[in-house]
Amino acid sequence: MSSETGSTGTSRSGGPLGESLGGQPVDGEPAQYDEGFGTQVGVGPHPLPWPEGERYDPELLAGGDRRNVGDQYRYWTREAIVADLDLRRHDFHVAVENWGHDFNIGSVVRTANAFLAKEVHIVGRRRWNRRGAMVTDRYQHVRHHPDTESLTAWAAAEDLPIIGIDNLPGAVPLERTVLPRRCVLLFGQEGPGLTEEARRRAAMVCSIAQFGSTRSINAGAAAAIAMHAWVSRYAEISG
C-alpha cells in the first residue's frame, strides 16, 4: 500500500508526531476544506469520556480529526481504517498507464478509493502525481508494474481479465457491456490513451458514449464512469 515517510517519528495514524490539528493534522494530512465555501471539515477534540478500543488514535481524540475520511472513521487510526476497508473491498482492480507523470492519476486513485477497488496498479513510471488523490492513497493499496507485460503477467496469475477503456475503433460500448465481476479496468494516459501494447493485451476494450464536440474526456472522468458501471451492477447499494 502506498505510504509517505517523514524524517520525524510517526503517530499511530502514520504521520509526524507532535503536529496539531490546528494546521497540520496529526497524521500529516492537509486540513480538508469545502472548496466552494472555504469551510473546514472534520471534527474537533472528542468530548470526554473517550471511546475505548485499539482502533482509536489518542492524538486524534485529543486534537480533533480533519482528515479526508467519512464520519464513520473519525478518530480511527489509519491502520484500523485500512483493515476495515479490506474486509469489504470489491473484486475489480484499476490500472493506469503512467509514462509521463499524468496529473489524472491522483484523481483515478481517489475515485478507486471511493468505489472501494481492490487495488490500484500504476504501469510505467513508479512516481506519480499524488496531488489529485487528496491523500486517499493512504487508504488504498497501490501496486507498481514497470511495464504492461508485467501487469499482464500478474493479471494472468490472478485469473483476472484486463478490460481496456478507450474510445477506439472496434471498441464495445460500455453502456451495453456486462463487465466481469473480477477484472482489471485499464486506462491509458491523458492524450494518447491506451498504448498499442495495452490494446493488444486487453481481453476487451470498451468505449464510453459521448454526444458533444470534444474528442474525448479525461482519464479521471473515464475511470469514474467505468468504476460506476461496475458498482451499479455488482455492489450492494444501501438505502
Distances 68 to 30, 40, 111, 136 between C-alpha atoms, Å: 9, 11, 13, 8
Give dist(CA 76, CA 28) in Å, integer: 14
**Considering its fold, how many domains does the chain have in total?**
2
Q: Is the pLDDT of residue 39 over 70?
A: no
Question: What is the extent of the structural domain holding 51?
Answer: 1-86
* Domain assignment present for 160: yes
CATH number, residue 206: 3.40.1280.10
Residue with cell 471498441: 171
List the strands of the sheet with 142-145, edge to edge.
Answer: 142-145, 120-124, 92-98, 183-187, 162-165, 204-207, 172-173
One domain for residues 222 and 193: yes
| pLDDT at position 34 | 44
The last residue of one of the domains, among 86, 113, 132, is: 86
Q: Domain for residue 100, yes or no?
A: yes
Strand partners, 56: 76
pLDDT in tens, 177-198: 999 999 999 999 877 899 999 9
Instruction: Give a yes or no: residue 239 inside a domain.
Output: no
Q: Which of 53, 86, 119 is the last residue of a domain?
A: 86
pTM of the model: 0.84
Is the C-alpha dihedral spanning 59, 60, 64, 67 positive or negative?
Answer: positive
